[in-house]
């Protein structure tokens, strides 16, 4: 479970260049972008760094794939 305040949403993540900083701060990372190609690069970089916990979503910022709470 994610502790409130420990989740970072990177909207317009691209290649997820902020992911390493977020993970170094022990926060959960979610990258969201409209470009599948850019997200694939970010996923590959995360995987190469041993990060299997970060999440990546292909989505339009105007229609984010999350439930309202």
Q: Mean pLDDT per segment of 10 residues, for the chain of length 69 residues?
A: 73 92 86 96 95 92 71
Region class of 6: left (phi > 0), else alpha (psi between -120 and 50), else beta: alpha
User: What is the rounded distance in angstroms from the CA atom of residue 37 to the CA atom of residue 67?
Assistant: 25
Per-residue model confidence (pLDDT) at position 41: 96
Per-residue model confidence (pLDDT) at position 1: 46
Taking the model in full, what pTM does it have? Answer: 0.79
**Cα first-last separation, the chain:** 16
Q: How many residues does the chain have?
A: 69
For residue 22, give the nearest of 38, 5, 1 by alpha carbon.
5
**Cβ atoms of residues 35 and 55 within 8 Å:** no
């Amino acid at each position: 479970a994610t502790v409130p305040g420990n989740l970072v949403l990177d909207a317009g993540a691209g290649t997820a260049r902020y992911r390493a900083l977020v993970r170094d701060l022990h926060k959960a990372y979610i990258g969201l972008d409209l470009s599948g190609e850019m997200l694939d690069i970010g996923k590959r970089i995360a995987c190469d760094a041993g990060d299997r916990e970060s999440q990546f979503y292909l989505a339009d910022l105007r229609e984010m794939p999350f439930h309202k709470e």
